Amino acid sequence: MHIPDGYLGPQTYAVIDVAILPVWAAAASRVRRTLKSRQVPLMALGAAFSFVLMMFNVPVFGGTTAHAVGAVLIAVLLGPWAACLSVSTAIVIQALAFGDGGITAIGANCLNMAVVMPFVGFAIYRLVSGPAPSLRRKIAASGLGAYLGLVAASISAGIEFGLQPLLAHDAAGHALYAPYSLAVAVPSMAVTHLVVGLLEAAVTMGVVAALARSDPALVAMRPASRPLTWLWAGLGALILLTPVGLLASGSAWGEWAPAAVKGMVGYMPAGLQRMSGAWTAAMPDYAPAFIKDPVVGYVAAALTGAALIAAIVWLVGIALSRRDDASPVPTDDEEPS
């Protein structure tokens, strides 16, 4: 997930590096308010934990191992703002002291792993937990949060990659930085992480469960203000942003034969293609031409996908709340210790 230097052009990294500063400032002021003078050691240990967590080899199958990011786990333990600062600190140290991840790409890496991932993941965790979750439900919620948080982070990285050929090319129209368009980069990142995310979810659930056994106060729910509003706002923004990117890349899409893309990367944009084809086919002949445009089909596909995710989150939330109606309300603990 760490983007090295060289993949993102200056237009992208400069904007993100600058845009991340106010996010850090907001997170810092939020953390200072909630943790007061304890913020320094707690953020430092959160960052050190985040750093070390990423180094654990976790067995997947047949001797293969993978690493977890852990941003949602930290968000569950310390809150999303603290997770944002902790993971950001770890990323800066990885880049400057260990040579992992690019220096110009620090902003982008922080945006993906320290902003998108913990906030999306934590929002889903809150949503699925509901107001009075049982432990089992919180564990399930943390897993789903970690899964979708990682997928969201990978989509964010995919968008950053996919924008490169649009933003910068030489006189002949050839990419100067990451060479794949949005239509390739986003799905390949997303699909890969739909698989890798299973491990992230398993690890997050396992650690949350183990901590809950030894010290229930650690995973006590913090009261959050308006969690649902900003969750839906965030999801809405994602849904809106994806088509904007696709519209921008509309011309680039046609350059590549879907079969070749499929063979090469091993994912199924063809599935999406079919969806857009189905869309076009479903439109009556008298519909205005722009509706039949494959780009519109893409937008429809993206909206359908997002709606599907939202529906799953919602249904899982309902199913879990039915089962756990009788569970006791956990105590709130603002400051874990």
Give, as ranges, the residues between 189 and 248 that touch other proteins (CB under 8 A).
189, 192, 196, 202-203, 206-207, 210-211, 214-215, 217-218
Choose which of 15, 28, 220, 303 interacts with other proteins (CB under 8 A).
Answer: 28
Reduce the DSSP state of residue 168 to 3 states and report it.
Answer: coil
CA angle 99, 203, 305 (to 5 degrees): 90
Give CA–CA dist 96/226, Å, rounded. 37
- Considering beta carbons, is residue 63 or 328 the nearer one to other proteins? 63
33 touching other proteins, by CB under 8 A: no
- Considering beta carbons, is residue 73 or 152 the nearer one to other proteins? 73
Report the Cα 31 to chain-centroid distance in Å.
22
Choose which of 135, 256, 293, 327 interacts with other proteins (CB under 8 A).
Answer: 256
Helices (H), 36-134: 39-53, 71-78, 80-97, 106-110, 117-129
Yes or no: say if 75 and 124 are a contact pair by the CB < 8 Å rule.
no
- Using a 10 angstrom Cβ sphere, with 0-12 exposed, 13-18 middle and 19 or more buried, the burial of residue 133 is buried
Nearest approach, Cβ of 157 to other proteins (angstroms)?
A: 7
Yes or no: say if 160 and 108 are a contact pair by the CB < 8 Å rule.
yes
Give CA–CA dist 127/112, Å, rounded. 21
| Binding letters toward other proteins, positions 258-277, x by CB under 8 A | --xx-xxx------------
To which H or E segment does residue 228 belong? helix 227-248
Yes or no: say if 17 and 92 are a contact pair by the CB < 8 Å rule.
no
Stretch near other proteins under the rule CB under 8 A, chosen from 82-90, 232-240, 272-280, 317-325:
82-90
Choose which of 257, 311, 312, 315 interacts with other proteins (CB under 8 A).
Answer: 257
Choose which of 18, 26, 29, 38 interacts with other proteins (CB under 8 A).
Answer: 38
Give CA–CA dist 156/251, Å, rounded. 21
- Considering beta carbons, is residue 23 or 207 the nearer one to other proteins? 207
Stretch near other proteins under the rule CB under 8 A, chosen from 96-104, 237-245, 304-312, 319-327:
96-104
Nearest approach, Cβ of 34 to other proteins (angstroms)?
A: 14
Stretch near other proteins under the rule CB under 8 A, chosen from 9-17, 137-145, 227-235, 295-303:
9-17
140 touching other proteins, by CB under 8 A: no
- Considering beta carbons, is residue 49 or 81 the nearer one to other proteins? 49
Structure tokens at 60: 């997947």
Stretch near other proteins under the rule CB under 8 A, chosen from 92-100, 132-140, 283-291, 311-319:
92-100
Give CA–CA dist 135/145, Å, rounded. 15
Q: Which of residues 44-73 bind other proteins (CB under 8 A)?
A: 44-49, 51-53, 55-69, 73
- Considering beta carbons, is residue 265 or 283 the nearer one to other proteins? 265
9 touching other proteins, by CB under 8 A: yes
Q: Which of residues 151-170 bind other proteins (CB under 8 A)?
A: 157, 170
CA angle 281, 287, 289 (to 5 degrees): 85
User: Which DSSP category does 66 fall into?
Assistant: E
Q: Which of residues 275-334 bind other proteins (CB under 8 A)?
A: none
Of 27, 133, 129, which is closest to residue 83 (Cα–Cα)?
Answer: 27
